[in-house]
Amino acid sequence: MATKVLVPRLGEGVDEVTVTKWLKQVGDSIKELEPLLEVNTDKVDTEIPAPASGTVLKIIAQEGTPAKVGELLAIIGAPGEAVDSGKGSQVESDALSLSKGQKSFDPQPTNHHQLPTTHGDLGFISPVVAKIAAEHGVNLSQIQGTGLSGRITKNDVLAFVESGMKTIDRRPQTIVNRQSSIVATEGDQLIKHTSMRKSIAEHMVMSKHTSPHVLTVMEADMSRVAKHRAANKAAFERDGVNLTFTAYFMSAIVAGLKAYPMVNSSWSDEGVLIHKNINIGMATSLGEEGLIVPVIKGADNLSLLAMARSVNDLANRARNKKLQPDEVKGGTFTLTNHGISGSLFAFPVINQPQCGILGIGAMQKRAVVIDDAIAIRPMVYMSFVFDHRILDGASADWFLAKIKETLENWS
């Protein structure tokens, strides 16, 4: 009997995923628990394993399309086995069982009370698709279908509408976008947005529209931290931990949040919600793909060794796409170490609904004045961007000064 591959529940509050990549195609053989496809949620790419061994008989959800928990993704069975053409879904408990690698068998086909219609050369167009197209004034001939045999789906129409209703000007090699007024000429290259890039864009725009961003900058002398790291790096390595400067910055942030709890908060219409737990997000670059922010939860309970181990673990798994959706949720403050690429200071965007974000620039040896004498010290600029609804300039500076003090007096 054929086995249906359903969208599993990947974490609390995760009700929908986006199919990003099929690792197997129709006709390919696959073993039970072997990765079948990748999905994305909250910028986390997760592999979905096959619930059974066999042959991929049918792929339902196309790349780039959303799918809710419990919806049908694909069908696996014996070569040549007949399968139904429905796109039904199982109950949520089946989706939960699939996430544990258990099999979920074929349910009764979903009954459809409306039959598809035809529109000229477009093939079958369902009443739902036709209705949405009519409501938005969409010419279906302009849409490339992603459904079975090129059929236009509801998601195809909605994506077309959300994209700003792109139309093709019949003049050669010219594409006009009504929403952005961008004109592409011959030789230009259009790189389509990935799910991650779209998510980043939406979150950044939303953040700038949500809270008034204010920037304050200080610099810190990293001499004592550098000395401590040099003295302890080998010992940490014996415990399998790479002692990076990021661990020191995270620990200094903890000290700052403990001293000024108002920074560890979120704005609401009823008041400022001060969070009991200190959960620090760590912006991690994924190269051209974008960035992701895994969260170190309970950071105030960690020693420097434990902090460094958590930093290593989350950064490595983020770059290898091994994070779970829950590991990018629940942050109360964020660190972004933009200095890795050589940047001295920046104006980071707040990771909503948090109160602030700290940017760390590149550490450089600079000439500074100490006791009326010029000295060479390893210095870093620290850029603190905060929500001006919650903090004023003075309180923001007190918090940043506490981080500076912690780093400069490390022992």
Which positions are catalytic? 388, 392
The sheet with strand 167-168 has its strands ordered as 167-168, 175-176, 183-184
Lookup result for tokens 């598809």 = 116
Computed over its alpha carbons, how large is the radius of gyration of the chain?
Answer: 26
Q: How far apart are CA 399 and CA 260, in angstroms?
A: 6
The sheet with strand 16-22 has its strands ordered as 44-49, 35-41, 16-22, 66-68
| Planar angle of CA 380, 315, 250, nearest 5 degrees | 40
Within a 10 A sphere around the Cβ of 93, how many other Cβ atoms?
A: 11
Distances (CA, A) of 172 to 92, 169, 187: 49, 8, 12
Distances (CA, A) of 33 to 18, 23, 30, 317: 20, 13, 9, 20
Q: How far apart are CA 98 and CA 153, in angstroms?
A: 26
Q: How far apart are CA 63 and CA 36, in angstroms?
A: 13
Q: How far apart are CA 17 and CA 70, in angstroms?
A: 11
Distances (CA, A) of 137 to 58, 118, 133, 158, 350: 33, 18, 6, 12, 37
Alpha helices in 260-299 (DSSP H): none
Alpha helices in 63-166 (DSSP H): 92-99, 127-136, 154-162
Dihedral sign computed on CA atoms, order 52, 35, 325, 197:
negative
Instruction: Kindly report whether the peptide bond that precedes residue 353 is cis, defined as omega within 30 degrees of 0.
Output: yes
